[in-house]
Amino acid sequence: MSTALSSVGEEHALHLDAVDPLPARRADFHVPPATAGRYAEVAYMAGNSLGLQPRATRAVLDQELADWARLGVEGHLEAERPWKPYHEFVRDGAARLVGALPVETVVMNSLTVNLHLMLTSFYRPTRERFAILVEDSTFPSDSYAAQSQARLHGFDSAEAVIRLRPRPGEDCLRTDDVVDVLRTRGHTIATTMLGGVNYLTGELMDIPAITAAAHDAGVIAGWDLAHAAGNVPLQLHEWGVDWAAWCHYKYVNAGPGGPGGAFVHERHASDASLPRLAGWWGNDPATRFRMEPAFVPRPGAVGWQVSTPPVLAFAPLRASLELFDAAGMPALRERSLRLTGYLETLLDVIVAERRAQVLTPRDPARRGCQLSLSVPDARTLAQRLRAEHGVICDVREPDVIRLAPTPLYSSYHDCWRAATALRNLLPAR
Ligand SMILES: Cc1ncc(COP(=O)(O)O)c(C=O)c1O
């Protein structure tokens, strides 16, 4: 076995864990027990799919359940955290996460619903300018959303959804190529809906450069930040992004199906003339309970809310945002760079001798914490990683596994375990 992955390697991993300037806040999370391998807990590398449960989650949920039991409907006004303005308790933390002003931020619904709400307002196609720009490897739900929006406006979705492909032989997009498409075909594009971090390859797009190029071409700059929020530092306000949507159940650890977020830049946020799918929670609270038929949108991104916030789904987000505030995104990013760089070093050793290839850009500035590997029979590999080694990663059919050491709770030792297990299971070249 090569030195990097030998028991010396394990000692080195443990040493790195001991000396890291921002050690994992693992004690703040429930790390699932391992049912295989030598260790008590799993090496959890799937925070890009579903983040682990913060230990604080149960208490915030218990609080809401207790208030519901104690107060019934009066909890809307009298709960410890009154339910009526509940979305406000998560707004500022979510805004800090994406570099937005509070007025530009709203937590609501799930991601695809929010993509539709944003497209309804910002995809205003004309005969000349009717396209939505996505990556070819965009998440399927984004494809469906883009295609169905184009069809809603009477366009042929095959023409109206422009899919950006990497150059032949390459796995990721180049910023220059994206900018070039905006320069040459921008007059036909109404909005972008690009993944800030691509879900499959882990590529971090140059959001400010592409946003600027979109604007130069008269294109609305919209982003899906599912894999970027809580993973990489974002400055949506400063970058001038028009709209964005994301989820909180991945890196933000808000729990399965946890509520999504949406960003509407200040310059649009209070524009009551923007068409939208309206509901009473987006109405001015001063008149909401007058029960009148005329919709008066609330200024700010909150004006895009449709329904009553689901308090039991929002409560865990309060707990998880507090962890981000305590650690601070800049420090988390530094730790993330160290962890992913370390994992990459280990994977380099494996890739040299086993049938696997890293798809994610090598430049740390062009990725978050996730490294994607192309491997033979990814599903069986992931099953064996879990069943034989207690390593949890996730699979994208047919040939990709994704490993995401998340800086809040993953350790160097988790990376070492994942790499060692992969080396054991992958066939030789
Ligand atoms: C990039 C991306 N877009 C959309 C979705 C769908 O999210 P939701 O089920 O919350 O609508 C996901 C879910 O993983 C995703 O990763």
Token pair, residue 113, equals 């619903």
Whether 50 is in the pocket of ligand 1, judged by its Cβ within 6 Å, is no
Nearest residue (by CA) to ligand 1, atom 7, is 111
Whether 201 is in the pocket of ligand 1, judged by its Cβ within 6 Å, is no
Whether 246 is in the pocket of ligand 1, judged by its Cβ within 6 Å, is no
Close Cβ partners of 143 (under 8 Å, ≥ 6 residues apart): 134, 161
Element (H, E) at 137: none
Task: State the distance from the centre of ligand 1 to the C-alpha of 5, rounded, in angstroms.
Answer: 35
Taking only the tens of pLDDT, the chain with its 429 residues reads: 444 455 449 999 999 999 999 988 999 999 999 988 899 999 999 999 999 999 999 999 999 999 999 999 999 999 999 999 999 999 999 999 999 999 999 999 999 999 999 999 999 999 999 999 999 999 999 999 999 999 999 999 999 999 999 999 999 999 999 999 999 999 999 999 999 999 999 999 999 999 999 999 999 999 999 999 999 999 999 999 999 999 999 999 999 999 999 999 999 999 999 999 999 999 988 888 888 889 999 999 999 999 999 999 999 999 999 999 999 999 999 999 999 999 999 999 999 999 999 999 999 999 999 999 999 999 999 999 999 999 999 999 899 999 999 999 999 999 999 999 999 999 998
Whether 135 is in the pocket of ligand 1, judged by its Cβ within 6 Å, is no
* Nearest ligand 1 atom, CA 250: 14
Task: State the distance from the centre of ligand 1 to the C-alpha of 225, rounded, in angstroms.
Answer: 9
What are the residue ranges of helices labelled H in 277-328?
A: 285-288, 311-327
DSSP state letter for 362: S
CB atoms within 10 A of CB 1: 12
CA 233 to chain centre: 12
97, 230, 292, 426 from 251: Cα distances, Å: 11, 5, 40, 28
5, 181, 274 from 185: Cα distances, Å: 48, 5, 25
Whether 195 is in the pocket of ligand 1, judged by its Cβ within 6 Å, is yes
* Nearest ligand 1 atom, CA 141: 4
Nearest residue (by CA) to ligand 1, atom 10, is 111
Q: Which of 247, 372, 396 gets mutated to test ligand 1 (max ligand atoms within 8 A of its CB)?
A: 247
d(CA 398, CA 281): 42
The crossing angle, in degrees rounded to 10, of helices 412-425 and 7-19 is 160
Q: Which of 50, 111, 246, 400 gets mutated to test ligand 1 (max ligand atoms within 8 A of its CB)?
A: 111
Q: Is the peptide bond before 364 cis (omega within 30 degrees of 0)?
A: no
d(CA 140, CA 320): 27
Q: What sign has the CA pseudo-torsion 21, 26, 27, 29? A: positive
pTM for this one? 0.96
Task: State the distance from the centre of ligand 1 to the C-alpha of 54, rounded, in angstroms.
Answer: 21
d(CA 119, CA 115): 6
